[in-house]
C-alpha cells in the first residue's frame, strides 16, 4: 500500500526593511538616531540598517518620509570653506608648517585646495585627523 504525503508550503511575502527620514535632515547636518525610522518596505537605494547612517553628514537635504541613501551621506566635514588651517608640507624628514585658507569643504582623508597665506600660492592637500592639511604626504 502506498502512502502519499502532501506537503503544502505557504509562501508569505517577504518585505525588506528600509530607512527613511523621520523629519527633514538639512544638508551639512550630522545624522542622529531620532532623525531616522525603519519602515517595512523595499525602497530602491535606501539603506537597511539605520546604524550605518549615525554620525555621518547629510550631503544634501533629505526630506521627511524619503529614503536615506548612502550616496546622500558622507563623513563629517572637518575643514570649511574660508577656514584658516595649518598647512604642513612633508617631504622625507622635512616638515614645514604655515597658515593657509581653505578654498573648499573636506572631511578627514579628502583632498582640498588651500591658499598659502604667506605666498598666495594655491596647493592641494589631504585633511588629517586633526584638521591639518598635509601637502606632499604619501600614505
Per residue in 88-118, pLDDT (tens digit) is 998 888 999 999 999 999 999 999 999 999 9
CATH code of domain 18-74:
3.90.1210.10
- Our CA angle for 47, 51, 57, nearest 5°, is 80
3-state secondary structure of 50: helix
Share of the chain above pLDDT 70, in %: 87
Which comes out higher in pLDDT, residue 91 or 132? Answer: 132
Please give the average per-residue pLDDT across 2-12, as a whole number.
Answer: 55
Tell me: pLDDT of 67 over 70: yes
Three cell numbers, residue 103: 578654498
Model confidence band, residue 8 (pLDDT cutoffs 50, 70, 90): low
The architecture of the domain spanning 77-135 is Roll (2.30)
Beta strand spans in 11-69 (E)? 18-21, 36-39, 57-58
Listed residue (24, 19, 15) closest to 54, CA to CA:
19
Model pTM? 0.69
Model confidence band, residue 66 (pLDDT cutoffs 50, 70, 90): very high
Where are the chain's structural domains? 18-74, 77-135
Q: How many CB atoms lie within 10 A of CB 100?
A: 27
Amino acid at each position: 500500500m502506498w502512502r502519499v504525503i502532501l506537503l503544502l508550503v505557504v509562501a508569505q511575502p517577504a518585505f525588506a526593511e528600509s530607512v527613511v527620514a523621520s523629519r527633514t535632515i538639512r544638508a551639512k547636518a550630522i545624522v542622529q538616531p531620532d532623525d531616522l525610522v525603519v519602515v517595512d518596505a523595499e525602497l530602491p537605494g535606501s539603506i537597511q540598517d539605520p546604524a550605518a547612517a549615525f554620525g555621518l553628514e547629510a550631503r544634501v537635504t533629505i526630506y521627511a518620509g524619503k529614503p536615506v541613501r548612502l550616496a546622500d551621506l558622507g563623513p563629517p566635514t572637518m575643514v570649511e570653506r574660508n577656514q584658516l588651517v595649518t598647512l604642513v608640507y612633508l617631504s622625507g624628514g622635512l616638515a614645514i608648517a604655515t597658515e593657509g585658507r581653505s578654498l573648499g569643504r573636506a572631511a578627514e582623508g579628502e583632498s582640498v585646495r588651500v591658499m598659502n597665506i604667506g605666498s598666495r600660492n594655491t596647493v592641494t592637500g589631504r585633511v588629517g585627523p586633526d584638521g591639518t592639511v598635509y601637502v606632499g604626504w604619501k600614505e
